[in-house]
Amino acid sequence: MNSLNKIAVTALSLAALSSSVFADNINDDIRESKAGIEALNSTLVSLGVNEDTHVDVSGVITPSQKLALYDEKYQELQNTFDNIHFSQKL
At 9-41, the pLDDT tens digits run: 555 555 655 555 555 799 999 999 999 999 999
User: In this predicted model, which residue has the larger pLDDT, 65 or 1?
Assistant: 65
The answer as to whether 85 is a domain residue is yes
Q: Which domain holds residue 40?
A: 28-89
The answer as to whether 14 is a domain residue is no
The answer as to whether 19 is a domain residue is no
User: What amino acid occupies position 83?
Assistant: N
What is the model's pLDDT at position 18? 54
The answer as to whether 23 is a domain residue is no
User: In this predicted model, which residue has the larger pLDDT, 76 or 8?
Assistant: 76
Alpha helix locations (H) across the chain?
Answer: 2-46, 63-89
The answer as to whether 11 is a domain residue is no
Residues 6 or more apart whose Cβ sits within 8 Å of residue 9: none
Look at residues 78, 90, 89 and name the one whose alpha carbon lies nearest to residue 49.
78
Number of separate domains in the chain: 1
The answer as to whether 48 is a domain residue is yes
The answer as to whether 6 is a domain residue is no
What is the model's pLDDT at position 68? 95
CA distances, 47 to each of 25, 41, 50, 55, 65 (Å): 33, 10, 9, 22, 31
Report pLDDT digits (tens) over 36-75.
Answer: 999 999 999 998 999 999 999 999 899 999 999 999 999 9
What is the model's pLDDT at position 79? 94
The answer as to whether 37 is a domain residue is yes
